[in-house]
């Protein structure tokens, strides 16, 4: 893995199981399990709030970790979900994808992984795991 300030997994998941993305307990368990599996330290409990209107309504998850955050938004209408995992501690983005697949059963996922480093004088490369 490239040495950088931060590691950012961005995953769009299409056609998730609506029964699972609208279940508070499933979202809670996903957050708790993901923190463990990518070897992070949670800072408090996950914040999970159901809000929005129309095709934007759904749960939003924010889990602070000692090295940054895990965020997700779930769209009830479409079953789509959007995930961001950012940390200055390296982690395996494939583990994040596997956890999303296990918990939310998407029809398809599009994942990107970005090395972040504001201090570099050169562009940091993009990588798709």
* Residue 3 reports pLDDT greater than 90: no
Instruction: Phi first, then psi: give them for residue 79, nearest 5 degrees.
Output: 80, 5
76: Cβ contacts below 8 Å, ≥ 6 apart: 18, 21, 22, 57, 58
Query: What's the pLDDT at 4?
Result: 73
* Residue 79 reports pLDDT greater than 60: yes
36 within some domain? yes
116 within some domain? yes
* SS3 (DSSP) at 70: strand
Query: What's the pLDDT at 121?
Result: 47
1 within some domain? no
The separation between the first and the last C-alpha atoms of the chain, rounded to the nearest angstrom, is 11
Q: Where are the alpha helices (DSSP H) in the chain?
A: 18-21, 24-37, 93-104
35: Cβ contacts below 8 Å, ≥ 6 apart: 41, 42, 63, 65, 70
127 within some domain? no
Domain count, the chain: 1
Could you list the residue range(s) of the whole structural domain that residue 47 is in? 6-122
The 10s digit of each residue's pLDDT in 7-63 is: 999 999 999 999 999 999 999 999 999 999 999 999 999 999 999 888 889 999 999
129 within some domain? no
The 10s digit of each residue's pLDDT in 80-128 is: 999 999 999 999 999 999 999 999 999 999 999 998 887 764 555 555 5
What CATH code is carried by the domain that includes residue 42?
3.60.90.10
59-64 CB contacts, 8 Å cutoff, 24+ apart? 59/21, 59/22, 59/24, 59/27, 61/27, 61/30, 61/31, 63/31, 63/34, 63/35
């Amino acid at each position: 893995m490239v040495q950088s300030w931060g590691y950012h997994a961005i995953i769009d998941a299409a056609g998730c199981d609506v029964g699972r993305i609208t279940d508070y307990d499933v979202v809670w368990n996903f957050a708790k399990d993901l923190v463990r599996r990518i070897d992070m330290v949670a800072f408090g409990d996950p914040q999970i709030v159901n809000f929005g209107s129309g095709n934007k309504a759904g749960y939003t998850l924010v889990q602070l970790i000692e090295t940054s955050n895990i965020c997700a938004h779930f769209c009830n209408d479409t079953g789509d979900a959007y995930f961001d995992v950012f940390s200055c501690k390296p982690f395996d983005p494939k583990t994040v994808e596997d956890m999303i697949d296990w918990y939310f059963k998407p029809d398809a996922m599009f994942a990107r992984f970005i090395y972040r480093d504001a201090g570099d004088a050169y562009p940091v490369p993009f990588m798709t795991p």
